[in-house]
């Protein structure tokens, strides 16, 4: 299959470039800057991402451009553009002031194929500290802003283009047009990548890969593992055994609801209530990372014990998606938080790994779920952390604290599902992720009736996002917030105050722990 290679120089928006390319029904692969494939006849173009570095930094990431320049169409974005200029004879210097935010392309060469269909004065998004003060000799300027003369330029002798702005971000209003011009018109994509083609090809590949072997899949109730299960079920039927472990920190009534959903889908599912073990091992633990590690360890132990009962199993399937694998290969070597769904298999299991969704972004997983005919409430389910409510309770974990948070969270999530906004869409479908957080290390004074209370606050969190790499707090209606706050305080014993988290990512994360 045709593919675009995106070389990652460490930009926070590299994954967004990939999603934009996939939205053009074109397969792409994100690779570290120094891992360009030497022999891949399917590659039709190369995109160089942005980077936190300056091209002048001693530790700046560098790539040998001769691997693809002159052989394949190339598009450099931000740092990628500066690296092209710097390497091929141009000049990159520190800008007088950081060029960040909205700008307008006041001069655009719409005769150049990269800018076909572009408007003059089109808004773009800048984010760089250096600027290109001179371009290589065989290049020409094809776009400028009031402050950036060399905002876009192209080679006159080779298929190389470069832009100092970010076409992948929402604020570049015609960014999709630019990327389509490059991917489809310049690179010649046949636009063969779609949910339907993915289902057909993946089911065929799974049948060939697995044959009559038995496969075990750990279900979480989330979108990824659910879609992976239905996809595998279509390929191998009852040779798939799913295991759903309840660690006691799921949402209210979630274990039974999810089990019912899975049985309606015809899946062979084993449900395991291991909540007592998890609560016992978490007793007194307050450190967030330690909580995650304990839950991850216990999950593996419980899952392994159940999986060993299936003595003829040869494969372990996981709902790992593409961003999980990219994040686990972070080229800076920095870990922000541990992941329990990516990594090696326990040696004693002696199972081979099957990851049917390993090339998909989250929105693509949802499209595949719809293609498979799955219920909409499963497909649109918000992301939920693997450790569950354990990382939404500040401090130590007890069954009573989980009960309090489950009740508050249930009121909040049901409210989001029931509230229809002015455009006819429910608030639940308008936000990427939402949940309640119990501030169990904090107590606040309140008054209920004629009595003074000294109980815990609950913080509500709702964010809008496309891929969770960045997120903004959701501007929920005041009447909704008032109703939910009142209901939580009146109905959830142990809570006397409700707050709303209005921090964005970055600098905050979506989860509190």
Query: How many other CB atoms sit within 10 Å of the CB of residue 117?
Result: 11
242 belongs to the catalytic site: no
166 belongs to the catalytic site: yes
Q: 126 has which bridge partners? A: 101, 165
Which of the residues 29, 99, 168, 455 is marked catalytic?
168
Numbers of helices and strands, H then E, in the chain: 14, 20
Q: For residue 189, what are its two tokens?
A: 């994509």
Among residues 208, 268, 196, which one has the least CA distance to residue 235? 208
Is 202 within 8 Å of 356 (Cβ atoms)? yes
Query: How many other CB atoms sit within 10 Å of the CB of residue 358?
Result: 15
With a CB cutoff of 8 Å and minimum separation 6, the contacts of 482 are none
Pairwise CA distance, residues 166 & 335, whole Å: 25
Is 403 within 8 Å of 440 (Cβ atoms)? no
Q: State the DSSP H helix or E strand holding residue 206, giving kind and residue range, or none if neither.
A: helix 195-210
Among residues 8, 19, 2, 29, which one has the least CA distance to residue 364? 19
Query: How many other CB atoms sit within 10 Å of the CB of residue 418?
Result: 12
Q: State the DSSP H helix or E strand holding residue 502, giving kind and residue range, or none if neither.
A: none
Tokens 């992976």 belong to: 228
Query: How many other CB atoms sit within 10 Å of the CB of residue 257?
Result: 14
Which of the residues 29, 86, 128, 166 is marked catalytic?
166
3-state secondary structure of 465: coil
Which of the residues 28, 78, 187, 354 is marked catalytic?
78
475 belongs to the catalytic site: no
| Enzyme catalytic residues | 78, 166, 168
């Amino acid at each position: 299959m045709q593919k675009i290679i995106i070389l990652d120089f460490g930009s926070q928006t590299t994954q967004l470039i990939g999603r934009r390319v996939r939205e053009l029904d074109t397969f792409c692969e994100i690779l570290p800057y120094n891992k360009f494939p030497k022999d891949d006849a399917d590659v039709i173009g190369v995109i160089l991402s942005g980077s936190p570095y300056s091209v002048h930094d001693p530790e700046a990431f560098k790539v040998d451009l001769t691997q693809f320049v002159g052989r394949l169409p190339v598009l450099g974005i931000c740092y990628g553009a500066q690296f092209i200029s710097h390497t091929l004879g141009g000049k990159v210097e520190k800008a007088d002031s950081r060029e960040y935010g909205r700008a307008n392309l006041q001069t655009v060469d719409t005769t150049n194929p990269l800018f076909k269909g572009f408007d003059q004065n089109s808004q773009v998004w800048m984010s760089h500290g250096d600027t290109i003060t001179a371009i290589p000799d065989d290049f020409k300027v094809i776009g400028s802003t009031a402050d950036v003369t060399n905002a876009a330029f192209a080679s006159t002798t080779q298929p190389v283009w470069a832009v100092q702005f970010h076409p992948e971000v929402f604020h570049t209003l015609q960014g999709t047009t630019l990327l389509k011009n490059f991917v489809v018109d310049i690179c010649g994509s046949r636009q063969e990548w779609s949910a339907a083609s993915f289902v057909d090809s993946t089911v065929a590949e799974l049948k060939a890969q697995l044959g009559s072997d038995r496969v075990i899949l750990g279900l979480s109730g989330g979108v990824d593992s659910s879609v992976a299960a239905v996809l595998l079920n279509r390929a191998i039927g009852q040779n798939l055994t799913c295991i759903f472990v309840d660690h006691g920190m799921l949402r209210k009534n979630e274990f039974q609801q999810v089990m019912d959903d899975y049985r309606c889908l015809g899946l062979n599912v084993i449900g395991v209530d291991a909540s007592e073990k998890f609560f016992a091992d978490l007793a007194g633990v307050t450190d967030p990372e330690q909580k995650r590690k304990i839950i991850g360890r216990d999950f593996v132990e419980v899952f392994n014990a159940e999986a060993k009962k299936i003595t003829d199993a040869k494969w372990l399937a996981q709902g790992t998606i593409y961003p999980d694998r990219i994040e686990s290969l972070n080229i800076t070597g920095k870990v922000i938080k541990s992941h329990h769904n990516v990594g090696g298999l326990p040696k004693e299991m002696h199972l081979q790994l099957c990851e049917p969704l390993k090339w998909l972004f989250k929105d693509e997983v949802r499209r595949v779920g719809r293609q498979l005919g799955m219920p909409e409430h499963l497909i649109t389910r918000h992301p939920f952390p693997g450790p569950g409510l354990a990382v939404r309770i500040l401090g130590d974990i007890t069954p009573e604290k989980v009960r309090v948070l489950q009740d508050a969270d249930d009121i909040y999530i049901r409210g989001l599902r029931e509230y229809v906004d002015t455009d006819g869409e429910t608030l639940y479908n308008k936000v990427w992720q939402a949940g309640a957080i119990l501030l169990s290390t904090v107590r606040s004074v309140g008054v209920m009736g004629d009595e003074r209370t000294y109980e815990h606050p609950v913080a509500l969190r709702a964010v809008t996002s496309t891929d969770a790499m960045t997120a903004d707090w959701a501007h929920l209606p005041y009447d909704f917030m008032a109703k939910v706050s009142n209901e939580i305080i009146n109905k959830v014993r142990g809570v006397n105050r409700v707050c709303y988290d209005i921090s964005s990512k970055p600098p905050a994360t979506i989860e509190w722990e």
